Structures are given as structure tokens and as C-alpha cells.
With several copies, the nearest count.
Chain A
């Protein structure tokens, strides 16, 4: 029983960790101090299980301005502009209150972007749920989508992309990730490199602090949710997007007017984290006065004020001379800005309430000196047999047409319009391509440049081979970006895993990191930041190891961006890249053969890179009418999606030397379907030859029909109907 446990265990600290705290302090910690350490040393805030492994990720690159370690990474896109981007997970709160859980997740990642001094310009939301035939999964799906829209639409940041997948292991563990992208003048980024002086003031502005989310996300996300997680419930919070919008404008005005020495969002571990990190990063200490903190409720105790994760709050570091101006800006935006702390020399953090000292600890011991674990790791016992049973060699009895429509209407593949239409994609007037294509394309305001953004995870592949699954995720994200003509620049990543205290989860984690690292090195797309979400399991069902990759690409001239849809008759359709008999972990295998087994397709990183470079060059030479990558569902789905998107039919022939289901549904990597105008064919084929990328002429565009010679005959209309109606139909069930 929790009651009989000593306090430190109730707060999730181990006896060893408690010992370290006593060592640091040279005495027993008080209750407020213990709560501070418990929050800061939680898995969510301290990364204690992942730190050592994250170090092996490549983070260097000519374009990288800010790598991991700050609130978000930053990349140089020229013209003196920086792109700031980061992805984060809000799976645990969303599992018990989908609307507010997802909404507050959006709020959190947006504050990470503004705390870098950047204006948020785009959101993406990679989501994973259990199958929609379960009522609870429908409730979670509808609630999460409504929550992301409800918050994102209300703060004026367009939601331009994301992904939605459905799989059994997510039934009790939805995986809710949100990525935010911002833009700032490179010389105005707010980083810990900015000098913070002794005697500077810490101004807390935004919402008042309440009892909600005490030990919220950090504790919630640092342990598995047991059935009916009653205890963790009060830590779900209500988002106030209106307050967030004011926070965005006020924060950016403070930055633009050069009034700040530093800026911190209040996220996990609330005030404790923001104050201790700000002080530690500056190599200083701080005096924190809890009596100054505006409270929503009377009689809050020190530990509550210190660890409350109330939303929509920011902390500005200000030199005393600028306080009046800073408070005036907050005032103008209807926000309360009060001085709660002051930096001091020496690394001590002293906290007072009612005049009494309630905590006195070294700031660094909270922020930087948390425990670090190298947890035991071992492959899952059943991995070998999972990989044994390869669907590539299964006997296929269905007809091609039946298979085509089942895969096209599978929720993983089918149109996500039902989701995308609930998001404002237009606000800020720069969205050139939103959800639907391979990557979203967002113009950089007032320039010809555009960002191409994609988020991808390959859970099913990861389940069968976490190394390959992770590498494929990076490859697909980069390929998606390259299909628009943009050059992949850098990634952020969200690592969604089970309980790290289980060796097989830890093995999946380290293998995934290896996969991301190798792929990012091969593509020269460094890791600028991310987030780790452990404990995504309940009972004995853990989520598939799912690193979600957020890829940033750059288009020098948005007028040269390539669409994913065919455009009218008479263009030639090619497949770039080779199709191999690789049905392991494919959508076809799951939907048609009911098999989730085998080995994922091989991935030749050098070939993948050559393909991406080719796409970028072809786009720059204006040689492509359309380009669409072969992902879930393989070639058949890539062709169908290009036809539906461009409302243009096609006729193609398949190689004679392979069974139709391999040609149509194999998910071999590094393949793209392109269409090319007559006049450009010579130049295109020459370019491909020089690049040494395998090329195969498939056929021609035109007419209302989808005709795959010898295998299947249907119409664009029929395909569209199946593709568009799948998810709405499941929801009406």
C-alpha cells in the first residue's frame, strides 16, 4: 500500500536516488525539496534511462545552429533565418482525457518553440490508436483529434500534417505526438548562450498557478498506467488556448524588443524545472519567492506551487532595468507578469514561502546531476520466430482487385481527410500544401523559400526489427520531403517505447537509436532535438517500438515544388528504385494475409540517398509533373493516391517476372512513382542514368480508369470512394 511506503518511494524515487539526494544535501531533504527532486529526477524530466544512448545520435551539421540540450533545435535556412522545431509526446494524459490531454500537448510543444524566441508557424500530429472497431478507441481517436484542433485552431498556428496509424498494441496506449515548427531571425534566437547576469530577475507571466497537474506529466509519464489509473487522474489539466495565444504574442514582442536575457517555458516539473534550469544554465543560483507566485487557489503548499504543471506559463529572465517595459508588454496582452526569483552568485537555489526557507539545494543537482542508468538490454525471446514466418512466401488466394480495395480501405492507408478537415491549415497565409501529399509545404513568410515537413514512424517494421524500423522511418521522412523537391536538412524525433526497466524494451530502444543514427549520418540530416516517451504499456501490452521522425526540408523556390498527384493525360509514369519480394511487415500482409511477421524490407542507405538527391535535382530542373513515394501498401497504393489526388487515371504494365502481389504490394524501400511530360523525358532519363538510380517505365496517365495490365481494372472514382469513405464509415459504426 502506497500509504505505508516512505515518502520518497511514493514520489517515485528509488532508495538509491534518495541516498544520492541526502549525499548532495548532507542531510535529509525536506518534503518540498523531496518533491522537487522527485519531479526533476523523474524519467520524463531527467532522461535517466535514455541519456547515455541519446549521446550516440549525430547532432553536428553545417546548418545546425542549436542542437539537443535546449528547448528545441534550430537550423539555418539562409537569409539570416532560423527554423526551430521539436516534437513531443502527450500520450499518457491523452489516454485518460483525450481532448484535454492532446490539447495541452499542443500547448506544451508550442511553448518550447516560443521559448527559443521563434514564431510557431506549423504543427504536425503523428497519432497512433488501437483498431477503430473498439468503441473506446473511437472515443480516444475523436477526442484527441478534436483536442488538437480545438487548441491549435485557437492559437493561430496551422496544423499542416501528421500521420494516423492503427494497431492492436495502441488500444490501451494511444501514442500522441505533436511537432511544432517555428521561424526566427537567426541572430535573435533565445538560447542558454545568452549571458544571464547576477541579480537578474525571473518574471513569471501567463496563467496563475493551480493545484492541477501536481507531479502531472512528469510522474504520469514516468510509470505505466495501471487499470483505472485513479491516482493519476487529477493530474490531467484543462488547456486554455486563448491564454496561449496571448502568451505567444507577448513572448515574441519581448524578444523582438530585446528585453530578455533568457526565456523558459514551464513544462514538466513546472517552476522547479524552469528556475533551476535557467539558473544552472547560467552557472548561477537563484532565490525563489513562492509568495510572489499568483495562485488560482488559496492555501497551496510549497511543494504544490513548486511542482504544479499548470499550463500557459512562461518565465522570462530580465535585467532589473528592463522590468517596467517587460511588465508593460505583458499588461498590453492582458497577462500578469510578476517577479518570482532573482539570480545570485554561487549555484544555490533557495526557496521561500511565508518568509520561511522551504528549500535550499544546488540548482545543478536538480537540472543536470540527476541519476543516469545504463539499463540491461536483451532481444525479445520471440523475435526470431516472429521473423521466421515470412509472408513473402505465403500462398495468396485472393484476387488482385479484392486485395487492392482491402489495402486501399485499410485505416492505415485510407484518406485521413476526416482528421485533416478538423484543423485550420490556412492561418498565417503561407500553407502551400497541407495534409494529403508526401510532405507539407509551408512558405517562409515574405520569401521564395518554403519548408517541407514530414513526420513518420514505422511501428510494424520496428516490431519486427527495431533497427530497420527506425532507419526506415528516417528514410521515409526524408523521401517524403525530397518528393516535393526539398532538400532534407535535419530531424527531430520522438521515441515512443514501453517500460525501460524491461530488458527487451531497452534493447528495442538502443536498436532504434542505432537505426536513427546510421540513417541520419547517411543522409546528413543531424538530430537537433526530440523527446523520449517511455512506459507506454499497460498490463503486458507495450506499444511497438516507434521512433517518430520529424523531418525538416528546404525548398529554395516554392514555385518549383512538386505535387504528389498526376496532372492530366499524356504524361509518362516511371518507377524509381527496384521492387523486391519483400512483404514482411507490409500492409498487404496484415490486411490480406492477417500476418504481422517476417523481416521488414532491406534498406540500402546509399541507394536511398542517391534517390533523394535525384528527386531534388529533378525538381530543381523542373523535370517532374508529380512525385509520390511508395510507402504503406506499396506501388499499387502510390499509383492510386497519385490518381485520386490529381483526378487522373492511368494505365500501367507490371514486370512479367514477379507475382502481381509482389509488384503491387511489396514495400521495398527507396522507391518513388513520378510522372513526366513528353518534352522533359530525355532530360529526365539522362539525369536518372547519371544518378545511377534504377528506372522503370510503367505506363501513361489519362482517362477515368485505373488499369494495371493483367492484374486489375477499376476507376479513379471507385478508388476514391473506397479511399475516402473508409474512416468515416468505421466511425459511424
Chain B
């Protein structure tokens, strides 16, 4: 069975996010003065072949832990899963 997963990798709270800061900084010039707390993270979509969703989810979590994120500075979150058929 094939499953689609989406993983969100974001900087740990408290760590400086220069990208977010830059976006926030450029907004007023475009007339948008009502935006704050901009944070930029990574969104990883992938398809995985597994017997069932739980097995798939376990592997995705392991991949996110070991490869997709760096625990020293990042947190990850499995956003969604969807069955894509066999």
C-alpha cells in the first residue's frame, strides 16, 4: 500500500530565524504593517510503500528524526498522511 506523508521541519522556538526576520522586515515597505511572528520552515512531502499506515508512520518518524531534521536546532511534526492506493 502507498501512503503520502507531509513532514514539517521548523527551527526550535527561541532560535533566531533570519529568513522569517527578513520577510517580516520587507512587509511594511509593501504596505503591510499588521504582520508579525513570521517563521520559515521546511515542508517535506513524500510517498512511502508500507503494509499499513502505522508501519509507514513509524518509518517516517524515524526518517524525520535521523535525516530530515537536526534535533540540535530543529523540531519536526508529521502533518498529514493519506492513502494513495496500492
Contacts and interface: CB of A to CB of B under 8 A. Distances in A.
Q: Do chains A and B touch in the complex (CB under 8 A)?
A: yes
Interface stretch (B17-25, B45-53, B54-62): B17-25
Interface in A74-107: 96-97, 100
A97 B70 contact: yes
Interface of B: 11-12, 14-18, 21-22, 25, 29, 70-73
Contacts of A243: 18
A568 to B, nearest CB: 41
Interface centre among B16, B25, B71 (most CB of A within 10 A): B16
Contact of B14 (A210, A242, A311, A334): A210
A238 B21 contact: no
Contacts of A96: 72
Contacts of B17: 238
A243 B19 CA distance: 11
A207 B72 contact: no
A240 B21 CA distance: 10
A238 B14 contact: no
A43 interface: no
22 contacts: A96-B72, A97-B70, A97-B72, A135-B29, A207-B16, A210-B14, A210-B15, A212-B15, A233-B71, A233-B72, A234-B12, A236-B73, A237-B15, A238-B18, A240-B16, A240-B18, A240-B21, A242-B18, A243-B18, A310-B16, A311-B16, A334-B25
Contact of A237 (B16, B25, B29): B16
A105 B34 CA distance: 35
Contacts of B12: 234
A296 interface: yes
A296 B15 CA distance: 9
Given A212-B16, A296-B16, A238 B22 contact: no
Given A97-B73, A334-B25, A212 B14 contact: yes
Contacts of B72: 96-97, 233, 236
A256 to B, nearest CB: 26
B16 A238 contact: yes
Contacts of A657: none
Contacts of B18: 238-240, 242-243
Contacts of B25: 334
A701 B11 CA distance: 54
B33 to A, nearest CB: 17
A297 B18 CA distance: 15
Contacts of A212: 14-16
Given A97-B70, A100-B73, A240-B21, A211 B14 contact: yes
The 3 closest A-B pairs by CB, nearest first: A240-B18, A97-B72, A211-B14
A100 B17 CA distance: 12
A624 B2 CA distance: 68
B12 to A, nearest CB: 8
Contact of A234 (B14, B16, B21): B14
Interface in A222-249: 233-234, 236-240, 242-243
A625 B72 CA distance: 51
A680 B4 CA distance: 73
Contacts of A311: 16
Contacts of A210: 14-16
Contacts of A296: 16
Interface centre among B22, B25, B72 (most CB of A within 10 A): B72
B56 to A, nearest CB: 23
A239 B25 CA distance: 17
Given A97-B72, A210-B15, A210-B16, 5 more contacts: A97-B70, A240-B21, A242-B18, A296-B16, A297-B14
Interface string A483-504: 0000000000000000000000
A242 B20 CA distance: 13
A650 B17 CA distance: 46
Contacts of A297: 14
A650 to B, nearest CB: 41
A242 B22 contact: yes
Contacts of B15: 210, 212, 237-238
A236 B73 CA distance: 7
Interface in A336-353: none
Contacts of A97: 70, 72-73
Contact of B11 (A211, A238, A242): A238
Contacts of B11: 238
A177 B11 CA distance: 26
A211 B71 CA distance: 17
A77 B64 CA distance: 53
Contacts of A238: 11, 15-18, 73
Nearest to A211: B14
A242 B14 CA distance: 19
A321 B72 CA distance: 45
A62 B72 CA distance: 47
A236 B71 CA distance: 11
Interface string A43-77: 00000000000000000000000000000000000
A10 to B, nearest CB: 20
Interface centre among B12, B25, B29, B70 (most CB of A within 10 A): B70
B26 to A, nearest CB: 10
B35 to A, nearest CB: 17
Nearest to A233: B72
Contacts of A135: 29
A557 B49 CA distance: 62
Nearest to A733: B29
A118 to B, nearest CB: 25
A7 B72 CA distance: 25
A304 B29 CA distance: 33
Nearest to B21: A240
